[in-house]
Amino acid sequence: MTTSTIATTVTQDQAVRLSDDGTAVTIIDQTLLPNQLVHLDLTERQQMFDAIKLLKVRGAPAIGVCAGYCYYVLARKAAQDATDFDSFVSTMSVERDFLNSSRPTAVNLSWALDRMHAVVTTSARLDPEDVVPLLHDECIAIHREDLEMSEEISRLGASLLHDGDGVLTHCNAGPLACLGYGTGQGPLFYAHDHGRDVHVFADETRPLLQGARLTSYELQRAGVDVTLICDDMASIVMRNGWVQACMVGCDRVAMNGDAANKIGTSGVAILAKHYGIPFYVLGPTSTIDQRAATGADIKIELRDPDEIKEMFYAEPKALPEVKCYNPSFDVTDHDLIAAIVTERGICRPPYVESLRALFA
């Protein structure tokens, strides 16, 4: 583990990467930002599980890239210990399912793990040791494709903005969460880099404060004009005419356009609809779940109630016996979404048709 106090700018290569010798996945511990920049080396399955579960690595695309690298590191060990190909497949099936159980909502996790596992199951005539280089190529490809995806989503998203626009965003879907430019905040970095003036209002995003700790940090460090607001201030900045667009990321999208994102997103969408402000969802096609017909099919993760009562406070702010409801995500109805931006294009309603066309 390496540590530096007062974090500096995060580049697209820092958030998640494979160690040079291939024995560890190196991540930035996002739970310690913005005050400390700590790199963790993940070498064991429980470390990997905990890093994803405890949000040390977070953001759907970053989780997918991390999962691919974790699978590869575990496969290196399993190949050395395997007595035959069947035992190798059996071990890796267990490892895949174990990692996949860490976060149920972000579809990129299962997508990346299934993609890596398919390399194993389609290599039945090879010695397990010979499968390892194939897995290395696959996890590198997942990361490379993610960076390409991020840039294209950011370019397309930026095309929806005008010079001088105010943009409200919720949670964190920038370089830390998505690598490259990002998705939900990617157009903001892209527009800034290409000479366009945008002003960003970043919701703090309770209860984990990713907007305050991560989004405002990334934007400020990159030189983008950003103002941090509490979640319950979104309405007043919209009413004041300071917001011309809302842009958010997503963890899973159903085939009718319903989109799951960090808790509070649907409230922002409802406000935007009331004030006539376009609400855009940005994410890679890997977050579109073809098995989910509507948002009702998306499983919502519930987290520890103490995150509401105790996290970030010197003393608890509610009585111990007070019950808490702490879902990680909510689902924004498709009829509140003006467009869904993917690396394959900008989808408009009706999403049943436009999303399906992406996979035609």
Q: CB–CB of 57/27 below 8 Å? A: yes
Tell me the pLDDT tens digit for each residue of 148-190: 999 999 999 999 999 999 999 999 999 998 888 999 999 999 9
Domain regions of the chain by residue span: 2-150, 156-358
Catalytic annotation on 251?
yes
Query: Does 156-358 match 2-150 at the fold level?
Result: no
> 146, 165, 203, 251: which one is catalytic?
251
Give the pLDDT score at 3: 45
Tell me the pLDDT tens digit for each residue of 14-58: 799 999 999 999 999 999 999 999 999 999 999 999 999 999 999
Among residues 184, 296, 168, 334, the alpha carbon closest in space to that of 250 is found at 184
Euclidean distance between CA atoms 186 and 151, whole angstroms: 8
Q: What is the mean pLDDT of the chain?
A: 93
For helices 60-81 and 128-158, what crossing angle results, to 10°? Answer: 170
Give the pLDDT score at 61: 86
Which CATH superfamily, name and number, covers 2-150? Answer: translation initiation factor eif-2b, domain 1 (1.20.120.420)
Give the pLDDT score at 130: 97
Q: CB–CB of 47/14 below 8 Å? A: no
Which CATH superfamily, name and number, covers 156-358? Answer: Translation initiation factor eif-2b; domain 2 (3.40.50.10470)
For helices 107-121 and 128-158, what crossing angle results, to 10°? Answer: 150
Is a pLDDT exceeding 50 seen at residue 281?
Answer: yes
pTM for the whole structure: 0.86
CA-based diameter of the chain, in Å? 67
Q: Which amino acid is at 181?
A: Y
Q: CB–CB of 256/294 below 8 Å? A: yes
Q: Which two tokens stand for residue 281?
A: 């969802």
Q: Which amino acid is at 100?
A: N
HEC assignment per residue over 220-231: HHHCCEEEEECH
